[in-house]
Structure 1
Amino acid sequence: MIRPPETFTTARLLARPPRVADAPQAFAVYASDPVATRYLSFPAYQAVTPLEEFFHTRENVWAGSSEGPLPWMLFLRDDPTQLVGSIGVTLNDRAAVFGYAIGRAYWGRGLTAEALTWLVDWALAQPGIFRAWAFCDAENLASARVMEKAGMLREGVLRRWHIAPNISPEPRDCLVYAKVR
């Protein structure tokens, strides 16, 4: 199985696996914000404890004791104590699928596209990965633009495919983007 690097850097970001101790800052920066989580697959967190539990499960995945998505916490390279958000990858037989959540204070700076570009390039450089892809709610045009900046092309619409619990319990349409080799 292909394993991504535990850490990576870009021109403006440092990325590393989450730690339980990151939960309070993640809660404050994006995880509790109903606007930042509006289109995501999880409701805005109401307390830090469930986020700590989630980060603990992700630590286990990085340690190899369980399987699942591999996330990184994104920090400003010039101030490595300042959390920006998170980005993650799920690897399967021939593809890598990405997801991200960024604090509103960091929207519009190109930071998400910078991290996603790095990961897409990494994924497609792996011999067994032929597809790097992501999706966003059909109304989340800012996220669609992030994927375009990362070199992904829009492939189409997945009808009633994704539930964004902060909006509705009903499945919503999503835009799917990919870069292939």
Structure 2
Amino acid sequence: MRPPETFTTARLFARPPRPGDAASALESYAGDPVATRYLSWRPYSEIPPLAEFFAARARDWAGGALAPGSHYAWLLFTRGTEALVGSISVLPERHKALFGYVLGRAYWRHGYAAEALAHLVEWALAQPPIHRAWAYCDVENPASARVMEKAGMAREGILRRWHVCPTIGPEPRDCITCARTR
């Protein structure tokens, strides 16, 4: 199952990342240790590795089926501008779709993440094979749990020792899980 390559919401335009977006993403969110604190990757410090990551995401879009460990990713821009807000991704897997997102700190508390996530959750649950749209966040990141709830997901519980945040340490951490099902 392949999501749309681009989408728009009331305030956002989304498209797949390109290697040439690396400098803007590094400045907006990918190089920020605060914005990336609870993610599965460390902040980038240089453009070339981020450009290669974006090239890999472009290959995900170009290929037929996703390779193991791959996902569909979009960069989020404010509509009508080149202002890079952040990124959102989906990993469709059989009957479920897992979402992840990150925004630059300048765009926190504006509802952008919930707007993009709600759009993609609606898209996912409109696909006949998908019965579960879900995401998770670190228990110490309640703002992210609130994003999921604003996007129409219900808090389900805590996944114990589920996710490693390398900027915090090597130990798996507890995560809040939220989902919307049909």
TM-score normalised by structure 2 residue count: 0.97
Answering whether residue 95 of structure 2 is matched by residue 94 of structure 1, we say yes
Q: Distance in 1 between matches of 2:175 and 2:21?
A: 30
Shift of 1:168: 1.1
Question: Which residue number in structure 2 is paired with residue 31 of structure 1?
Answer: 30
1:58 aligns with 2:85: no
- Partner Cα separation in structure 2 for residue 165 and residue 46 of structure 1: 15
- Could you say which residue in structure 2 is the equivalent of 1:48? 47
| C-alpha distance in 2 between matches for 1:78 and 1:93 | 35
In the TM superposition, what is the alpha-carbon distance from 1:169 to its structure 2 partner?
1.1
Offset of 1:44 from its aligned partner?
A: 0.8
User: What letter is aligned with 2:138?
Assistant: D
Indicate the RMSD between aligned Cα atoms, in angstroms. 0.8
Query: What is the 5 A alignment of 1:30-179?
Result: 30-64=29-63, 67=67, 68-79=70-81, 81-179=82-180
**How far apart, in 1, do the equivalents of 2:147 and 2:155 lie?**
12
Deviation string, structure 1 residues 54-107 (Cα, Å, up to 9, x no partner): 00100100001652200000000031x110000000001000000001000000
5+ unaligned residues in a row in structure 2: which ranges?
Answer: none
**Structure 1 runs of 4+ with >4 Å offset:** none
CA distance in 2, matches of 1:87, 1:18: 10
2:155 is aligned with what amino acid? Answer: R
Structure 2 CA distance, aligned partners of 1:17 and 1:50? 17
Q: Distance in 1 between matches of 2:10 and 2:31?
A: 28
Aligned residues: 179
Identical positions, percent: 61
CA deviation vs aligned residue, 1:126-172 (integer Å, no higher than 9, x gap): 00000000000011000000000000001110111100011111110
